[in-house]
Structure 1
């Protein structure tokens, strides 16, 4: 399958871009339009390696394809640099939602770390309010263009800092006003969720949902801590959970697998895996299995009944979209529309929404795929 000049592909006669999608793992500072960065850079005092939007998109793609999460994260200096004023935050959030809607997303959760956007003198509440304003403007613009989309914020605390509890309290204070959940992000290896047990205890007492970056740059201990210390309802990536599966025998399409206790727990409790195929390849998260999308343990996890979802992680750094990610999986594993629908239904079931709204989302997905 190939992507056309409009970023679309077709499967069984249906446009992949036109399919209703749910995006659970999508970073705001990882989805800034390169043209917008170029336009805002001078006033923001950000030095760019190139001064053209297309060339900057190429630069992000090249630097993002490093095989290292640490190197991958360095590219965010440019995007975060232009996101330090209210006006810029609102614009970036608005364009982010418009891009989601153009990709066929009907429900999305955008994650970002407010503490990284205070250099211009704004407070934590100021930046959350600015992003929320942009989200609502983007939703209105999408509606005017004939597309329906709803987007909620996931507040991320940076796991290498001392402000995670403060950010958890910020997230809870914005419940019902646009914020739907909490996350910790940043360098995973060496910073177990257990370091922030106090913040997660607080969130649990407030019955506030959490997803935790785990199993991307670190292994099973990180995932275990996300579940036990972070009370994670979803795993941000979680791809290295596959190392708790021992493939005993392969015979054609049949695979005999021995489950570790951790993998069985995640599978049996339907804990959502926020997998991001292109990003997982770029950051080296799947290096234990290979160096191509075909080597990604996505299909193994799917066939074994895990609640797998498809995500972009960072649209700009990975130069991707949900449409493209689905197309890559179709090419790699021969999926049909039924498989793609299953991924969206998993994402809808894992969304941080009340059950009635998740059921409505599931109905919209079923109707869109059945059209």
Structure 2
């Protein structure tokens, strides 16, 4: 009777932020896990070593008769993804503690985080939505995991996009360029969801639309135009349009930038910032431009837009950088878009997402 239950699975996760409380439903339990040795006790408080550990317990049918037991650690990734989106903090999956009636040994590791003062890592709730850092609020997003409230297609999209979002938060302190690229990838996944909604005027500029009209007037022109449109993916335009469309007035009114000190995102600069962010990704991928120092915000400013003048690149890259959002700016855009998509598709999170 004291052996692990084959239906019950436990996974250990952690975050650099301070999460309080607990959560329990019929399908899920999230409880804090406290350190017992003196070394870890000395790390209490907001500092580069601080971690809050949690054990998530969930039910899953046993693999009776299966040759290979399923690795359910992926559920730890799911929980980390949704917790990260909900609270706007980084979460790390350390692995299973108990699964399929077997005790497991997780990997407990955490890196020194010198960016602990930034909103994605510190002990304060995020300014937009201001969801308290208490596990009881997991009820807001749990329906994505346990209820059939969204389509399989939407669930796969959120899982894929959210994975890149949370990974960006985890790796930013040590790999700022790669973290920035992960946020761009997350935005691309969002922009490809329901891509049939885009109109011609949104995907193509005026010159291209006029050329399509001229081509369609010749013999077989309609077929040529259809073929051209299939080849013109217009990824950047989809990226800019889809993300800017998901941002409402509340996003622009609830910045984490310290008022009067640093520039922030607004309705006037959002499209140019998104265009530049995508161009910056291309410059890194194709030309190897290492821009991490510039997109890293000042911890005492939380600036969403660059404050320093770029140096050391060619004129083109310097110009792109000068018009790009910082990691904090792009991260806030991506998280708000993820939350608004979830909110608009049947899982109500917060009135500010209406």
TM-score under structure 1 length normalisation: 0.21
Q: With CA pairs under 8 Å and 6+ residues apart, which has the higher RCO, 1 or 2?
A: 1
Larger strand share, 1 or 2: 1
TM-score under structure 2 length normalisation: 0.22
